[in-house]
Amino acid sequence: METSSNAPRVPVVTVSQVNRVAEMLINGDKRLANVAVRGEISNFKNHYMSGHLYFTLKDGASQLSCMMWADKAAELGFDPENGDKVVCRGAVRVYAKNGVYQLYCSEMKRDGEGEQAAAIEELKKRLYDEGIFSRKRQLPAMPRRIAVITAPDSAAVRDIITVIGRRYPIATLVVIPALVQGEGAPQSVARSLERAQRVGADVIIFGRGGGSSEDLGAFNTELVARAVFASSVPTISAVGHETDTTIADMAADMRAPTPSAAAELAVPEIGSIYSAVDGMGRRARAAVMKKLSSEERMLSARAELIRALSPQSRINAMAQRLDSVCAMIKRQVHGRLDASERQVLANADMISALNPLGVLSRGYSVAKAGGRVVSDAAQLSVGDRIELTFGKGGAAAEITEIKKD
């Protein structure tokens, strides 16, 4: 085949040069540096060793290769699958080594999630303005009956039963089954909350285990939020994981990060109750004994005061004084009597000594003439008659002779 010598010459380049040119053109286009692409996932691969995700986004007419680094994939709130409709945001880049361009995805959301999130935020604001989130009631300290609203065969209900059985086995659990995801779940949860009002429960636990935002959608509805607020029984929400916060969580009296944590919040630990009761018993006994001792001392003091102020006490004191005075008088009287007796005896001795009869008894006599005692012979004359008195008896005599000294 012959070619015209006038045809322009086309430069021959290498594959690498072509790929580098394509790389500069695409990587330098600011429109492709931050782009959001909507499509359906296909050819999904999770590289478990590295954690990177590889997939294709497609629509009815075309497809786009995509990849997501492991650190970004770890931030996803759901597990992507083939057939999921998503919106991926990132940068379109050319991998010069193989000449393939792809979307390096830094963020992935389910298609419609943005609109759904906006609707949820609008609902939150409206319910907040109505005061739905402001009521927070105190949970009962020792509930006797607990209503649990969740899927009957779920791990959540098993966790709740296990925790309460361990911590507070005297409580009665009433499991009220409900759909917790999918079509009809909001209505089912609302009906179960209404039913829980009639089972005599002291507290209600409602919720489910973790999942995607779509799985938790029933608890982000106005119907469930208003059913929670209408409950006359205090409520504990246990929806999803610790990082998931739903509208129902905000309407409940208390939020727990997990169903197990909800069970721990609902009941005390019975061992600590026993210890507290023992401690209160010891303190009560000590207080009673202290009070009894104080009252006993006060009673004794008042009894002493009553005895001191009573008439009988005064009578006893006066009787004691009277006995003392009587004893003193007796001692004084006996002393005086003894002294008088001694004086009488002394006087008697003196009288006895001075008694003429006593003298006469010693052989002396008394002469009387004319009724007068004769103490001098000159008082007599010869022929006078005298009376003689002896110690015993007497005699009459006539003076025949008078002798003078």
Residues 107 and 120 reside in one and the same domain: no
Separation between Cα atoms, residue 284 and residue 290, nearest integer Å: 10
Residues 97 and 71 reside in one and the same domain: yes
In this structure, is residue 350 part of a structural domain? no
Task: Give me the pLDDT at residue 1, please.
Answer: 46
Separation between Cα atoms, residue 131 and residue 149, nearest integer Å: 24
In this structure, is residue 92 part of a structural domain? yes
Query: What would the pLDDT profile of 1-20 be if each residue is shown by its tens digit?
Result: 455 556 678 888 778 887 78
> Dihedral of CA 316/322/328/331: which sign?
negative
Separation between Cα atoms, residue 63 and residue 48, nearest integer Å: 24
> Dihedral of CA 154/158/161/167: which sign?
negative
Task: Give me the pLDDT at residue 150, please.
Answer: 93
In this structure, is residue 165 part of a structural domain? yes
Across the beta sheet with 145-150, the strand order is 172-177, 145-150, 203-208, 235-239, 254-255
In this structure, is residue 346 part of a structural domain? no
Task: Give me the pLDDT at residue 5, please.
Answer: 56
**pTM of the predicted protein model:** 0.51
Q: Report phi then psi at 266, rounded to 5.
A: -75, -30
Q: What is the CA 158 to chain-centroid distance, rounded?
A: 30
Contacts of 303 (CB under 8 A, 6+ apart): none
Query: What would the pLDDT profile of 148-181 be if each residue is shown by its tens digit?
Result: 999 988 888 999 999 999 999 999 999 999 999 8
Question: Distance between the two ends of the chain, CA-based, in angstroms?
Answer: 233
Last residue of a domain, one of 57, 86, 111: 111
Q: Give the 3-state secondary structure of residue 404.
A: coil
In this structure, is residue 264 part of a structural domain? yes
Residues 248 and 199 reside in one and the same domain: yes
Across the beta sheet with 372-373, the strand order is 372-373, 366-369, 385-389, 394-398
Tell me which amino acid residue 208 is.
R
Last residue of a domain, one of 243, 268, 293: 268
Residues 168 and 30 reside in one and the same domain: no
Task: Give me the pLDDT at residue 322, please.
Answer: 85
Separation between Cα atoms, residue 148 and residue 172, nearest integer Å: 11
Residues 228 and 135 reside in one and the same domain: yes
Residues 23 and 46 reside in one and the same domain: yes
Buried/exposed 93-102: b ≥16 CB within 10 Å, e otherwise: bbebeeeebb
In this structure, is residue 344 part of a structural domain? no
In this structure, is residue 353 part of a structural domain? no
Q: Report phi then psi at 102, rounded to 5.
A: -155, 165
Residues of the chain with pLDDT under 70: 1-7, 112-115, 242-243, 355-363, 405
Domain of residue 215 covers 116-268
Separation between Cα atoms, residue 213 and residue 190, nearest integer Å: 19
Residues 169 and 281 reside in one and the same domain: no
Six-digit token pair at 344? Answer: 């009488």
Residues 208 and 173 reside in one and the same domain: yes
Tell me which amino acid residue 122 is.
E
Separation between Cα atoms, residue 330 and residue 316, nearest integer Å: 20
Separation between Cα atoms, residue 18 and residue 68, nearest integer Å: 26
Residues 122 and 263 reside in one and the same domain: yes
In this structure, is residue 351 part of a structural domain? no
Mean pLDDT of the residues in the chain? 86
Residues 132 and 210 reside in one and the same domain: yes
Domain count for the chain, please give it: 4
User: Closest Cα partner for 41 from 90, 79, 76, 81?
Assistant: 81
Tell me which amino acid residue 80 is.
P
Last residue of a domain, one of 268, 283, 311: 268
> Dihedral of CA 249/253/257/261: which sign?
negative
Residues 294 and 392 reside in one and the same domain: no
Residue bearing tokens 């899927």: 151
Six-digit token pair at 64? Answer: 């786009």
Radius of gyration of the chain from its Cα atoms, rounded to whole angstroms? 66
Stretch (H or E) spanning 63: strand 63-68
Q: Do 178 and 189 contact (CB within 8 A), yes or no?
A: yes
Residues 55 and 161 reside in one and the same domain: no
